[in-house]
Amino acid sequence: MVNGIVRRLESSGETEIQSTAIGELVMQGLGNLDTVAYVRFASVYKNFREAKDFENIIGQLNEPDGKSS
């Protein structure tokens, strides 16, 4: 997964990449790889403060179109 993210970033041609762009790529990769890891990463990346934050991200996993952020 990491190699794929690096390739995508390198192929973008940008010399500087926002950390938010990297975070979103990690979220996408984890969402396709492991939903538990996705939720755990999201809890730190999106700075969850209460149980409702977890409910929202899990609700997104259950949406018909898959993982949304």
Length of the chain equals: 69
Q: Is residue 69 one of the residues assigned to a domain? A: no
- Establish if 11 belongs to a structural domain: yes
Count the neighbouring beta carbons within 10 Å of the beta carbon of residue 1.
14
In the prediction, which pLDDT does 65 show? 63
- Tokens for 29, please give them: 């990769």
Query: Does residue 52 fall inside a structural domain?
Result: yes
Domain, as residue range, for 23 = 2-61
The per-residue pLDDT for range 36-55, each reduced to its tens digit, is: 999 999 999 999 999 999 99
Q: How many domains does the chain have?
A: 1
For range 3-31, the mean pLDDT:
94
Average pLDDT over residues 16-21: 94
Residue 39 lies in a domain: yes
DSSP code string of 7-69: HHHHHT--SS--HHHHHHHHHHHHHHH-HHHHHHHHHHHTT--SHHHHHHHHHHHTSTT----
Q: Mean pLDDT, to the nearest integer, of 28-38?
A: 93
Prediction pTM value: 0.76
Query: Containing H/E element for 2?
Result: helix 2-11
